[in-house]
Structure 1
Amino acid sequence: MQVENIRSFEVAVPDAALVDLKDRLGRTRWPEKETVTDWDQGLPLAYAQELAAYWQHEYDWRRIEARLNALPNYLAEVDGLDIHFLHVRSDNPAARPLVLTHGWPGSVLEFLDVIAPLSADYHLVIPSLPGYGFSGKPTTAKWSVEHIAAGWDALMRALGYDRYFAQGGDWGSAVTCAIGLNHADHCAGIHVNMVVGAPPPDLTNDLTEAEKVYLARFGWYQAKDSGYSTQQATRPQTLGYGLTDSPVGQMAWIAEKFHGWTDCGHEPGGQSVGGHPEKALSKDAMLDTVSLYWLTASAASSARLYWHSFRQFAAGEIQVPTGCSLFPNEIMRLSRRWAERRYRNIVYWNEVERGGHFAAWEQPELFAAEVHAALACMTL
């Protein structure tokens, strides 16, 4: 895969786009209140209005824009598509290369607080997925997880890293696993904070107590929390019309996950009951990500990754050294014996005490420590 035209990039959202956002927020047509007293029907009206009012009157996009621009931003044409990435080289002469990949509804912003601790020992490459953030939007139906993995491998080599490590969660975990599976000649090992796979049928007859909890959590997710993925995997274009036209629609579609998928004080049992998203993420942090999706009009283009890859991204046995960090409020959990059927060379396994699906964002110190510990078990 060809990589060319690597050049510096600066984030510069036009003032007119921010004025338009505030104008649209002020003209929101609200639905009626939900008929329950919790989040079971989605983002509650009162909190949606509170968050939207903050977005309109107090939130400052230029703050996060300046923080992004303080880092080395680049664009590169990868197989003809512009890919945005951060490239932070370490001052450590013994530093090793590491590519970090986000998921949905995430972005490179998830990793901002782990750049300092990780760049002490690693040269960091942090790309925006195709159709996400400041990366280009694919115009052909080829950017599957496997194609992205090939693109990341080509990008790393174009940057001078013939051997490297890969890390990811959510779609980033799928991409990372595809790198480990298909590009083991260059990838020296992987670390994932979302361990993707299915319980082997022959190992479900003698379940441990923990495995029973994991299965119950996944069953609840399938029954009550997976509607977003079905919509994005089947009709991303249809979804995009509403979310690209309504900032509150885009906000609600994403912010709901900041409640359900973070470690924000849910009741025991892993069914997203109780809790509040601001126990895990600030309003500004949540709206940084929502704003990025809104200002880049990437609702449909980001959702298309589900259409491309949602049904087949967990295939294949991975032989490269693998580190697995399990955060307590992750969407899905696998026991180690289940995971070993897919990840054939697990060299690091740890169940972390705090955090959820957005591990680097929610718990940057713990996340960085997990990456350090896992990659310490691997050599280039």
Structure 2
Amino acid sequence: MTENNALTPFRIDIPQADVDDLRDRLARTRRPIPVPGRDDRTDFSRGIPQVYLEELTEYWRDGFDWRAQEQELNEHEQFTTVVDDQTFHVVHVRSANPGATPLILSHGWPGSFVEYQRLIPLLTNEFHVVIPSPPGFGFSTPLSGTGWELARTTEAYAEIMTRLGYERFAAHGTDIGTGTTLRLAALHPERVIGTHIGCDRRWLGLVGDKFPYPDGLSDDEIAQIEAVRTEDAAERGYLEMQNHRPDTIGAALTDSPVGQLAWIAEKFRTRGASRTPDESVDRDQLLANISLYWFTRSGASSAQFYYEGEHSGLDYFVMAPDVPSGWAVFDTHPLLRRAMDPWNAIGHWSEFTEGGHFPAMEEPKLLADDIRTFFRDLS
């Protein structure tokens, strides 16, 4: 790990020229020629519908207030620090409670620290909240070089917690953040109080790939899992591109704001709660998240994280049997625990019909309550 341990105060201040450039590009959007019959804004079967994308584009250009979002994000303490030659951006919200537990929140793609904006105030009575951005995400840019995969990032997160003076801490993660959360516990079991995972029914799509089929399934249960696997397979286009050709898609995401908008907004519909994204996720928060990718050019650099992970040979799921684990499953499926935890080894398992892949944005109160309950039981 790197020698310079400085924690440099940071404040978001996007140059006005960049804000003006975004609006200008949005105003000059070159749209596809409409395909007859593709005028249903809720039909995501072929990707994001043009009708819905045009609505979002117009709002991003004329209705969305980046400066208001920037001001809100700057209400929280932030700093940058260099670990292993890579700049990391970290949000650090200290609790007024002297007995608060340090809690690291780890996000994935296409999220950012913006994802936790509405979760933070629900946690700070009991936790000091720490949110690092992975290498290549948000203000953890530019990338210092290749090789920033899950294991290296996990060690950087552990070092960041050390620099903050937190020897023992709790950990929560979703998406890619699940991998860093579980690996923190596996590599540093003496430091991690417990791990809390947020996930959704789409994890059933990993059965037959990352996880074996459970024993004793009926034909109907196998068919249910196969249906989720089929649905999940239709979602893998972005994954295969970022796993294998991040430079190619990165060029488009960096040059076209509508391309970046479509690339991310689609996922908030197809991976989020089963509603249109502006109903399940606040539209301004969604666009603040996408704006962050645009202003930092991290559409390209975040895709590199997928390439590194695919080619690292690392197992994404590592377990720490001596560290307590809690799971919160949103938009749940009756077979999920049987597939993910066939031995009922996970002591804290909560299931919710609400929410989806982005619980901190979709159902922040449910998620906060579950995090508090899990870690309170460990104290």
When normalised by structure 2's length, the TM-score is 0.90
Q: Paired residue for 2:162, among 157, 180, 193? A: 157
Flag the 1:91–1:27 CA change in 2: closer, same or farther, 3 A: same
Q: Secondary structure at the match of 1:193?
A: strand
**CA contact under 8 A between 2:26 and 2:61: conserved in structure 1?**
yes
Counterpart of 2:366 in structure 1 is 366
Give the direction of change, closer, same or farther, for the CA distance of 1:212–1:352 in structure 2 (3 Å limit): farther
SS for the counterpart of 2:232 is: helix
Deviation at 1:217, TM superposition (A): 1.2
Within 5 A, what are the aligned runs for 1:1-380?
1-2=1-2, 4-34=5-35, 36=38, 37=40, 38-194=43-199, 198=207, 200-201=211-212, 203-207=214-218, 212-222=223-233, 224-263=234-273, 266=274, 275-310=275-310, 312-319=314-321, 320-328=323-331, 335-340=336-341, 345-379=345-379
Residue 325 of structure 2 aligns to which amino acid in structure 1?
T
* Structure 1 pair 215–350 and aligned structure 2 pair: CA distance change class (3 A): farther
| Secondary structure of 1:123 counterpart | strand
Q: Residues 334, 318 of structure 1: CA spacing in aligned structure 2 closer, same or farther, 3 A cutoff? A: farther
CA contact (8 A) 1:262 1:329 kept: no
Gaps of 5+ in 1: 267-274
CA distance in 1, matches of 2:126, 2:146: 37
Aligned partners of 1:181 and 1:317 also within 8 Å:
yes
Q: Alignment identity in percent?
A: 36
Give the match's secondary structure for 1:203. Answer: coil
Aligned length: 365
* Aligned-partner SS, 1:5: coil
Contact 2:141 2:296 in 1 (8 A): no
Amino acid corresponding to residue 243 of structure 1 in structure 2: L
Find the aligned partners of 1:76 and 1:334 in 2 and give their Cα distance.
43
Unaligned runs of 5+ in 2: none
Work out the CA distance in 2 between the residues paired with 1:32 and 1:323: 48
Q: Is the 8 A contact 1:22 1:56 kept in 2?
A: yes
Counterpart amino acid of residue 213 in structure 1: Q
CA offsets, 1:306-350, max 9 Å, x none? Answer: 1011474424333121000000179xx973343237x99522001
C-alpha separation in 1, matches of 2:93 and 2:219:
43
- Once residues 59 and 129 of structure 2 are traced to their aligned partners in structure 1, the CA distance between those partners, rounded to angstroms, is 33
3-state SS of paired residue (1:288) = helix
The letter for the 2-side match of 1:300 is A
Q: Which moved more, 1:51-60 or 1:8-17?
A: 51-60
Aligned-residue Cα RMSD (Å) equals 2.2
Question: What SS does the corresponding residue of 2:349 show, helix, strand or coil?
Answer: strand
Range with greater deviation from structure 2 (192-201 or 348-357): 192-201
Cα shift at 1:182: 1.6
In structure 2, relative to structure 1, the CA distance for the partners of 1:209 and 1:179 (3 Å cut) is farther
Tell me, in whole angstroms, the C-alpha distance in 1 between the residues paired with 2:345 and 2:142: 35
Match of 1:269 in 2: none
Structure 1 contact 328–356 (Cα < 8 Å) conserved: yes
Shift of 1:220: 1.6
Q: Report SS of the residue matched to 2:272.
A: coil
* SS of aligned partner of 1:248: helix
